[in-house]
Each structure stands twice: as structure tokens, then as C-alpha cells.
Amino acid sequence: GAVVSQHPSRVICKSGTSVKIECRSLDFQATTMFWYRQFPKQSLMLMATSNEGSKATYEQGVEKDKFLINHASLTLSTLTVTSAHPEDSSFYICSARDPARPGGETQYFGPGTRLLVL
Amino acid sequence: QQQVKQSPQSLIVQKGGISIINCAYENTAFDYFPWYQQFPGKGPALLIAIRPDVSEKKEGRFTISFNKSAKQFSLHIMDSQPGDSATYFCAASRDSGNTPLVFGKGTRLSVIA
């Protein structure tokens, strides 16, 4: 299967600072990437859909000025949590699709990034 | 409004037994139904997926059964093993996966020896 990486895997930051999370598709080109947030023992909640070269589409209730998404290339999308607060502490996971691949509807998930805001 | 309802919330199965997880959906426009397995601290991994044009799909010990008229689909894990202990999520999407996945709430499976 396709490989999606995330960096960093874990980050601790102080309240008020910004944190950038990278999501890379390693062996395929991803025209669409998705960002999810997952709280302990809960399901994945879609935050936004990121399309290469265009603005991200945010889900209702997700602050676009707080969660900045940039999909500058076909293999990289970044999520920046600006002015982070303790309630932003969560597990952030990205996924990517490769429409050119057989079964192109498949979303491949990254390993996730654990964010802890103190 | 929860578009994909998953049950049970948790499940304990004896080693060698069959694990069964059920999901029901509301949106008849959904046409792609994957199941994901997630271990603690890891991202979800695709297990198996099905489209509505077939009623069953089997890959190794994992089988999806799909009932279009009832808008239900289920995951069967045959010969369950302790290594299968994880959280399982069903999901659905429209337009052949071009739209984001809608996830169920997850089922925490424990396979005991």
C-alpha cells in the first residue's frame, strides 16, 4: 500500500505558540489530503480537506485562522496550529488519496502527531 | 446527526472465535465502505473495503457483508487472534471516495486467550 508520513510524531509546546505538522505522501502524488483530529477513545473527526494548489475546505466549527493548512505540492500538506491552547491538545492525523492508483478511492493514513499544549 | 452508526462499542472475543462488528448508514448516496484498524498511538490502517455492487468480500480472515436494502454492513474476523486486539472503524463516502470519509464511532476489540 501507499505510504504517508507525518512529522513530528510528538510535540509539546507552550500555550500561545504555533506548531507546524507535516504530512507527506512518500510514493505517490496526492491531489487531495485530509486532516483529522482524534481525542482519546473517540473517532476521527474531519477538520479540513486540502487540495493541491488551492485553499483548503474546512468543516463546520473548525477555525480556519487557527488551523492553517497549506498544500503546496502533490506530496506535502502542512497543518499549522496557531496560538495553541491546552484544548488543542489532541492526536492529529492526515490521510491522502492517489486517484491514479487502482482503487483510487482508498485513503492512506499517516501515523499521526500527538500534540500536547502546556 | 450521525451518518454512520457502529456497534458494539466494545467487544471481547475468545481466541479462535468470530468477531462481528456492525455498521448502519443513512445516506443512500454512499458508495464506498472501508474498514480501518487502529492500534493505540498509531494511524488507522485500511483492512478491507466494499462497494454496493457486491454483497460480500473476503480477504484472508476478514469478511465484509453488505446489505444494500437494509443500509447495513458488517465486518467478520474469523479465527480471532490476540494480535487482532485493536479499535476498528467503519466508514463511508460518496462519489467513489472523492468526498471525505464519514467514520463510525469505533469498536474496541479485545481477543483473549
Q: Which residue has the cell 477538520?
A: A47
C-alpha cell at B45: 490502517
The mean per-residue pLDDT over the stretch B51-70 comes to 95
Task: Indicate the pLDDT class of residue B49, thresholds 50, 70 and 90.
Answer: very high
Chain A residues near residue B35 by CB distance under 8 angstroms: none
What residue in B sits closest to A105 (Cα-Cα)?
A: B97
Task: Indicate the pLDDT class of residue A53, thresholds 50, 70 and 90.
Answer: confident
> B75, B94, B73: which is closest to B25 by C-alpha?
B73
What single DSSP character describes residue A53? T
Of B41, B46, B100, the CB nearest to A106: B46
- Please tell me which residue, A106 or B37, carries the higher pLDDT value: B37
Question: Mutation test of the interface with chain B: which of A33, A59, A107, choosing the one with the most B Cβ atoms within 10 A?
Answer: A107
In three-state secondary structure terms, A110 is: coil
Q: What is the pLDDT at residue A43?
A: 94
Task: Answer whether A112 touches B (CB < 8 Å).
Answer: yes
Q: Is the pLDDT of residue A8 over 90?
A: yes
What is the nearest CA distance from A15 to chain B, expressed in angstroms? 23
b/e map of A93-107 (b: 16 or more CB within 10 Å)? bbbbbbeeeeeebbb
Q: What is the pLDDT at residue A51?
A: 87
Within A17-101, strands assigned E span 19-25, 32-38, 44-51, 57-58, 67-73, 76-81, 90-97
Q: What is the pLDDT at residue A38?
A: 96
Q: How many CB pairs under 8 A join A and B?
A: 56
Q: What is the pLDDT at residue A105?
A: 75
Instruction: Give the span between the Cα atoms of B40 and A24, in whole angstroms.
Output: 21
Instruction: Give the span between the Cα atoms of B98 and B10, in whole angstroms.
Output: 30
Q: What is the pLDDT at residue A2?
A: 78
Task: Indicate the pLDDT class of residue B63, thresholds 50, 70 and 90.
Answer: very high
Q: Are B90 and B9 in contact (CB under 8 A)?
A: no
Largest CA-CA distance found in chain A, in angstroms, rounded: 44
Question: What is the overall mean pLDDT for chain A?
Answer: 92
What is the nearest CA distance from A18 to chain B, expressed in angstroms? 22
Residues 54-83 of A with CB under 8 A from B: none
CB contact under 8 A, A111 and B97: no
Q: What is the pLDDT at residue B40?
A: 94
Instruction: Give the span between the Cα atoms of A71 and A81, in whole angstroms.
Output: 15
Q: Is the pLDDT of residue B20 over 80?
A: yes
Q: What is the pLDDT at residue A28?
A: 87
